């Protein structure tokens, strides 16, 4: 069996997130030439508070790909408009880009831009921001990832491929990004040549849309009084690295909590307020919560978080 030669086309990659790096690398290793990278500098990543920021310049240098650093994350600055006007790309692929692509970018592409989005349901349910974080927070058991052709709206383009993966009790946001990269890589590799050749069939989204709102670091505050132990567990695993992490007051100190698990739902500490540390095993803390006890495996003091939320 001979290896299929990738279809030729001028591809531009827009990316700034660590979750996209293995996908873009796999695309290059499969022989798909990328004409240009559009990516944020580390300074821009910090300015725009990009959680999970990744600098693609090393990968670009490895493959001899020119890099354009936009003046605006929204790609609407005059210099950004001039860049896309001067480069007639065929297809745009993403390496993690947390902004909508403006009409001037989309209209400059011969084929279009590939969107990647998912939630526990098929689109149009679960459009919007941070769907993997929200799926963990909500205790969902599966994640449906879909490829679509981007339009100026929010995740509203016609779908042309999908895959589903499981959200297990052992997952956190980092492991979901591992699964994300596996599924995104598979779908992109089997579709790029067909997209460039105009051979994909798309399916319009059907139904009433629902939207997830944007999350900020301040949204990571744990509400010990109103969240039960299972909700807190999901809340923490949804926001661990590479995200800013959940935080809460414990014993008069604000802690940034990276890893925790439900410890027990039967052991009782009557008369103890929720959010209090009731046991300590080395650096591990046992916290009294509604409905049970939470074992905090990894944490650090974070006085700066006190002013958030």
| pLDDT tens, residue by residue, 23-42 | 999 999 999 999 999 999 99
Residues 169 and 45 in one domain: yes
pLDDT tens-digit series, residues 171-198: 999 999 999 999 999 999 999 999 999 9
Task: List, for residues 260-297, the tens digit of each pLDDT value.
Answer: 999 999 999 999 999 999 999 999 999 999 999 999 99
pLDDT at 267: 97
Last residue of a domain, one of 212, 237, 255: 212
More confident residue, 122 or 3: 122
| pLDDT for the residue numbered 222 | 98
Both 177 and 60 in a single domain?
Answer: yes
Domain of 258?
217-307
The residue from 170, 195, 212 where one domain ends is: 212
Task: Please indicate, yes or no, whether residues 81 and 61 belong to a single structural domain of this protein.
Answer: yes
213 has pLDDT over 80: yes
Q: Does residue 135 lie within any of the structural domains? A: yes
Mean pLDDT along residues 118-145: 96
Same domain, 112 and 260: no
Residue 307 has pLDDT above 80, yes or no: no
Q: Please indicate, yes or no, whether residues 162 and 186 belong to a single structural domain of this protein.
A: yes
What pLDDT is stored for residue 149 in this prediction? 97
6 inside domain: no
Q: What are phi and psi of 34, to 5 degrees?
A: -110, 125
Query: In which band, very low, low, confident or very high, does the pLDDT at 3 lie, cut at 50, 70 and 90?
Result: very low
Residues 6+ positions from 69 with CB-CB distance below 8 Å: 38, 39, 40, 41, 44
Let me know whether 268 and 196 are in one domain: no
Give the DSSP per-residue string, the chain.
Answer: -PPPPPPP--EEEEE-BGGGHHHHHHHHHTT--EEEEE---HHHHHHTT-TTB--THHHHHHHT--EE--SSTTS-SHHHHHHHHHS--SEEEEE---SPPPHHHHTT-SSEEEEEEEESS-TTTTEES-HHHHHHHTT-SEEEEEEEE--SSSS-SPEEEEEEEE--TT--HHHHHHHHHHHHHHHHHHHHHHHHTT----B---S---EEPP--GGGGB--TTTSBHHHHHHHHHTS-TTS--EEEEETTEEEEEEEEEEEESS---TTPPTT-EEEEETTEEEEEEBTEEEEEEEEEE-GGGGG--
Same domain, residue pair 237 and 170: no
Q: Residue 29 sits in a domain of what CATH number?
A: 3.40.50.170
pLDDT digits (tens, 9 = 90+) for 57-110: 999 999 999 999 999 999 999 999 999 999 999 999 999 998 999 999 999 999
Query: Could you read off the pLDDT of 231-256 as tens digits, one per residue?
Result: 999 999 999 999 999 999 999 999 99
Give the model's pLDDT for residue 303: 73
Residue 5 in domain: no
What is the pTM (predicted TM-score) of this model? 0.87
Same domain, 194 and 237: no
Question: For residues 91 and 114, what is the distance between their CA atoms, to the nearest angstrom?
Answer: 8
Q: How many domains does the chain have?
A: 2
Same domain membership, residue 233 and residue 153: no
Per-residue pLDDT band for 51 (boundaries 50, 70, 90) equals confident
Position 309 pLDDT exceeds 60: no
Q: Where residue 231 sits, what CATH number does that domain have?
A: 3.10.25.10
Give residue 23's pLDDT. 94
Give me the percent of the chain exceeding a pLDDT of 70: 96
- 2 found inside a domain: no
- Is 3 among the domain residues? no
User: For position 2, what pLDDT does the model report?
Assistant: 39
pLDDT of residue 117: 95
In a domain, 83, yes or no: yes
Q: Does one domain contain both 208 and 221?
A: no
Same domain (yes/no): 203, 222: no
Lookup: tokens for 18: 């660590």
Q: Do residue 145 and residue 237 come from a single domain?
A: no
Residue 40 lies in a domain: yes
What pLDDT sits at residue 199? Answer: 95
- Does residue 229 form part of some domain? yes
Q: In the listed set 212, 237, 262, which residue is the last one of a domain according to the structure?
A: 212
């Amino acid at each position: 069996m001979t290896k299929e030669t990738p279809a030729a086309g001028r591809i531009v990659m827009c990316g700034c997130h660590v979750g996209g790096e293995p996908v873009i690398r796999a695309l290059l290793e499969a022989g798909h030439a990328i004409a240009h990278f559009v990516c944020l500098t580390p300074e821009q990543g910090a300015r725009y508070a990009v959680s999970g920021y990744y600098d693609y310049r090393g990968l670009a240098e490895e493959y001899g790909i020119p890099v354009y650093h936009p003046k605006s994350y929204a790609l609407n600055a005059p210099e950004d408009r001039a860049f896309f006007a001067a480069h007639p790309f065929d297809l745009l692929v993403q390496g993690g880009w947390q902004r909508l692509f403006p009409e001037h970018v989309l209209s400059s592409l011969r084929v279009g831009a590939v969107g990647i989005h998912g939630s526990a349901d098929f689109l149009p349910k679960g459009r919007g921001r941070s769907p993997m974080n929200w799926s963990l927070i909500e205790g969902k058991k599966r994640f449906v990832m879909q490829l679509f052709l981007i339009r100026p709206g929010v995740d509203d383009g016609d779908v042309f491929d999908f895959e589903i993966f499981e959200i297990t009790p052992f997952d956190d946001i980092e492991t979901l990004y591992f699964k994300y990269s596996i599924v995104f890589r598979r779908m992109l590799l089997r579709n790029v040549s067909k997209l460039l050749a105009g051979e994909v069939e798309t399916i319009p989204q059907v139904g009433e849309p629902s939207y997830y709102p944007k999350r900020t670091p301040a949204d990571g505050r744990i509400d010990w009084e109103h969240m039960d132990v299972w909700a807190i567990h999901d809340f923490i695993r949804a926001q661990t690295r590479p995200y800013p992490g959940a935080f809460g007051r414990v014993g008069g100190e604000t802690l940034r909590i990276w890893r925790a698990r439900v410890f027990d739902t039967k052991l009782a500490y009557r008369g103890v307020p929720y959010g209090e540390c009731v046991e300590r095993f080395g650096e591990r803390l046992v916290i009294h919560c509604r409905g049970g006890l939470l074992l905090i495996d990894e944490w650090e003091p974070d006085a700066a978080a006190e002013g958030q939320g």
